[in-house]
Structure 1
């Protein structure tokens, strides 16, 4: 009871959040160098967030949709969501004031050809902030799916893409009941023209535009700043604070800031003489190597970061050399993986090639990198899984340009200062691939954070 009360006092001291800013501050540029204890960027008010979200959404609809539909040779793309049962693509296309689909929301994109603008139609009772043209009058045609069939018949598309997929949930939004209802309304001729919208879904969700990448560094910086607070004596008192205390500190801190985690934060402890990763009610002690996995959602973009920290023993002034070398090993694997990004290369090939090169250098790697952006574990090909370092169908897709990634991996090394104990050096940093090079959005950790005396 005394321990928990003491931890709560240290938590209260850092829960005061800066006031929400009314307008966006100047953008933070992308950087290969991560600041060790960055200041927390201003957090936008909800009204300003809505302006940013809707502005970027409008730009994405104007630019990404024509590009991917024409490159994939699809002239009509139809999506459907039911209230509180959003499919991921439709959810990403709702404006900032539309919390969810209303009743049944149907979206249609149609390419008339000859360079004409893409039609954006919503077959629903409610418009979507002017981003889609309302195209259903229930008083004239009560049957919503018949209204869809009439729109399709009038345009007579060669291909009708709907979202179904065995590989990715991002392209599998059409439910069986709604597919059957739609099929019943369509003519036999148009039913024969149905194709999968899987690739369209993935490309829509994975593609990042310049306006998003202008915002992304400040979002990642926000995550880095909060991690720096967590890995400090403001939050951690060796001998008192538990791993779980720090996890819940994260949650309280985000709540005060008006931010959302997309997963419950992780805190793990590696300790000389202890097997594996300690967590939960384990009390943090001097000499521990700490690990965190932390991600936020802000302005419809996600972060995913893993950092390491070391709690100095009395009399120590720096991280033991064996631990410092372990993080350098993981940094080297990051470099190898970044060099193996290539447009069109399958994720599996990038993983297997990088792993082979790292092993040839005497390293002991495990690579499990994933796309990030609209979702934390985002649409696009996986580059390995922690539990599968061989070929995986989920990694068969191509790496595309203008995509964001969590460069997530680990290496294992025996640490002399810990009697040759095998230690896990996990790291994860968000990066952007422009089609030629991989750049970190707000740098990467290259030095283990030191938690010293108060």
Structure 2
């Protein structure tokens, strides 16, 4: 498919899903300052209360009467981190939650204990005797982290404390309880998530500029550590070490350990970064590409093969986003997306995941780098709405000017838009390279630049 064909196809997908692919590309992203810590805590706690209020409805959705979550300090259930208060840094003593789908006689729908005596089990048993749930869910799935956070020792303690088969015989496993609780992003979170994504874009834009990179002097790891220091200086943090690849030298193969090899950045290099920030209990995940202009070169001189490579991976992003239908499994979305991409002559790999509460958060996955025919367990889950996803993938493209097939990676976060019933970019989609200018052309702008 020629470059023009990619652009036309991408535009068609954007119209289909009701999204502008570069809503923010026309303006330069800015750093968004975080509020004071006390204010952050108020914001996060309000989000948590909104989420907790949804849990009884989630129980009813899956036909579960009660849900028991229990953990000890430093041995927390995965779901704990979505339920805790902002000023809690771990579970205290034994921290136990009980949620009810159909509380009777004016009883509350949720309970919490922080206790290091048998009192918690006495009171829990009393509530169960009063409410008489027919099913009592535990988080003990063998394969799904967000549904399997109950530690073995705590599970033994629960069985011992509740004693008779009257209650232990009612224990059930419903993996979607933990997954949907963590995956659901309440609407009030979106404003700050957009600000965090803009901050990520702004840091990447500065990192991939002549302010930070001096060809022949700066290395890939220099840029990585600059990004870490920048995050720290802004009072953000991150959930993984930033990586910077030199695509024309290192190649690119997404790995479970994405640490890129170090190397000197030189004129004509094609750069790639994998980067995310963490704040307010949220995580972003972004991959962009840049190009180091040679002396006397401007953005208008970039090899056409590189432009076509970026257009191709943008198209693969749009294909994937367009196939993400609510209720489909990740494996079904993966197959539909790859079939459509291959039909258009695009080769690459897709490995999209939920993000937000965790960097790799609760929800189905659409492929993994080593699993392009389906992902056991995670790929079999249904796609949920009201969550955030990273559209993460790469496309292969032969660049004739380099006589080289290059893998062009991209990653942008999307959110479920209830009004349009589609996946919208949280901040935007990178459709143009970041350019690292030389001193001679510093400040020169061209049509090909962000």
Residue 251 of structure 2 corresponds to: 276
Distance 1:371 1:365, change over 3 A: same
**Separation of aligned partners in 1, 2:178 and 2:286:** 25
* Equivalent residue runs for 1:87-126 within 5 Å: 87-113=77-103, 119-125=109-115
Note the C-alpha offset of 1:117: 7.6
**Separation of aligned partners in 1, 2:389 and 2:50:** 22
Instruction: Determine if the alignment matches structure 1 residue 418 to structure 2 residue 402.
Output: yes
Instruction: Determine if the alignment matches structure 1 residue 335 to structure 2 residue 326.
Output: no
Residue 148 of structure 1 corresponds to: 124
**Separation of aligned partners in 2, 1:198 and 1:48:** 34
Secondary structure (helix, strand or coil) at the match of 1:258 reads: coil
Deviates more, 1:32-41 or 1:421-430: 32-41
Verify the 8 A CA contact 1:123 1:147 in the aligned structure 2: no
Verify the 8 A CA contact 1:89 1:201 in the aligned structure 2: yes
Instruction: Determine if the alignment matches structure 1 residue 79 to structure 2 residue 69.
Output: yes
Moved over 4 A (4+): 113-118
Verify the 8 A CA contact 2:21 2:428 in the aligned structure 1: yes
Residue 322 of structure 1 corresponds to: 305
Residue 17 of structure 1 corresponds to: none
Residue 241 of structure 1 corresponds to: 218
**Separation of aligned partners in 1, 2:251 and 2:288:** 17
Secondary structure (helix, strand or coil) at the match of 1:409 reads: strand
Note the C-alpha offset of 1:443: 0.6
Residue 450 of structure 1 corresponds to: 435
Structure 1 unaligned regions, length at least 5: 1-29, 126-135
**Separation of aligned partners in 2, 1:446 and 1:300:** 29
* Equivalent residue runs for 1:141-220 within 5 Å: 142-186=118-162, 187-220=164-197
Verify the 8 A CA contact 1:111 1:117 in the aligned structure 2: no
RMSD over equivalenced CA pairs, Å: 2.1
Note the C-alpha offset of 1:403: 1.6
Instruction: Determine if the alignment matches structure 1 residue 300 to structure 2 residue 281.
Output: yes
Post-superposition Cα deviations, 1:336-360, rounded to whole Å, max 9, x if no partner, equal 1111111210110101110111011
**Separation of aligned partners in 2, 1:429 and 1:413:** 20
* Equivalent residue runs for 1:340-379 within 5 Å: 340-379=323-362
Q: So what's the TM-score if we normalise by structure 2?
A: 0.86
Deviates more, 1:148-157 or 1:309-318: 148-157
Residue 38 of structure 2 corresponds to: 47
Note the C-alpha offset of 1:146: 3.9
Verify the 8 A CA contact 1:171 1:201 in the aligned structure 2: yes
Post-superposition Cα deviations, 1:39-83, rounded to whole Å, max 9, x if no partner, equal 111221111111110111112212x21221111111211101211
Deviates more, 1:225-234 or 1:178-187: 178-187
Post-superposition Cα deviations, 1:336-393, rounded to whole Å, max 9, x if no partner, equal 1111111210110101110111011011121001111101111110000111100222
**Separation of aligned partners in 2, 1:296 and 1:324:** 28
**Separation of aligned partners in 2, 1:361 and 1:94:** 47
How many residue pairs end up in the alignment?
A: 408
Instruction: Determine if the alignment matches structure 1 residue 409 to structure 2 residue 385.
Output: no
Q: 1:287 aligns with which of 268, 288, 312?
A: 268
Distance 1:115 1:308, change over 3 A: farther
Note the C-alpha offset of 1:118: 5.1
Instruction: Determine if the alignment matches structure 1 residue 66 to structure 2 residue 56.
Output: yes
**Separation of aligned partners in 2, 1:336 and 1:281:** 33
**Separation of aligned partners in 1, 2:21 and 2:132:** 49
Q: 2:364 aligns with which of 375, 378, 381?
A: 381
Note the C-alpha offset of 1:227: 1.0
Note the C-alpha offset of 1:185: 2.2
Post-superposition Cα deviations, 1:239-259, rounded to whole Å, max 9, x if no partner, equal 111001111111111111111
Q: 2:426 aligns with which of 431, 441, 448?
A: 441
Secondary structure (helix, strand or coil) at the match of 1:37 reads: coil
**Separation of aligned partners in 2, 1:354 and 1:107:** 40
Secondary structure (helix, strand or coil) at the match of 1:267 reads: strand
**Separation of aligned partners in 1, 2:170 and 2:46:** 34
**Separation of aligned partners in 1, 2:144 and 2:22:** 32
Post-superposition Cα deviations, 1:158-201, rounded to whole Å, max 9, x if no partner, equal 11011011231111111121111211222212111111142100
Verify the 8 A CA contact 2:353 2:392 in the aligned structure 1: yes
Secondary structure (helix, strand or coil) at the match of 1:165 reads: coil
